[in-house]
Amino acid sequence: MDIRLGNGYDVHRFGVGDQVTLCGVEIPHNRGLQGHSDADVGMHAITDALYGAVARGDIGQHFPPSDPQWKGAASEIFLRHAVELTRDLGFAIANVDCTLVCEFPKIGPHSEQMRAELARILAIEIDRVSVKATTSERLGFTGRSEGIAALATAALVKI
């Protein structure tokens, strides 16, 4: 059995705004996340986990931030590309697990919608998609609410 694991990590800083997009779900908030694309930190971490599992670089190589065509882009474009790449290489996605690290907004009320949205893009069953959240006990940049961090793991199986 040929099993591949990948990890992903991303951070985006808070700036002016009234909503954040996390794992494809728009959440009203008193600030927004800054970034070249829609700054969906969770989806970026998952995208990098998929690239990592098949050893095909990272999101910055496939979608350079210097390229104006990705300005304000929906991160679904990036995730979809990674999903198609893993398929083209003959792998099925066994599961994806994502952890969002922030004090606010609270993730719990939105996690089911996030799982559903990710499962749709990944084209796998929802019980193969996990979205968790933790605070960092008000320590560090996430604890001071300067930004949001995300970690992700993906497991792939060769078919």
Rounded CA-CA distance 80/133 in Å is: 23
Angstrom distance (rounded) from CA 77 to CA 121: 9
CB of 2 to Mg ion, least distance (A): 29
Stretch 38-97 residues interacting with Mg ion (CB under 5 A): 44
Q: Is residue 150 near Mg ion by the rule CB under 5 A? A: no
Q: Which of 76, 133, 132, 75 is nearest to 103 (CA)?
A: 133
Residue 89, Cβ density class (10 Å: 0-12 exposed, 13-18 middle, ≥19 buried): middle
Amino acid at 44: H
Q: Length of the chain, please?
A: 159
Nearer residue to Mg ion within complex by CB, 44 or 110: 44
Closest CB to Mg ion: residue number:
44
Q: Which stretch binds Mg ion (CB under 5 A): 8-16, 86-94, 120-128, 140-148?
A: 8-16
CB of 35 to Mg ion, least distance (A): 6
Return the number of other C-beta atoms located less than 10 Å from residue 104's C-beta: 14
Total number of residues that touch Mg ion (CB under 5 A): 2
Least gap, CB of 41 to Mg ion (angstroms): 6
**What is the closest distance, in whole angstroms, from the C-beta atom of residue 10 to Mg ion in the complex?**
4
Question: Which residues of this protein are in contact with Mg ion, per CB under 5 A?
Answer: 10, 44
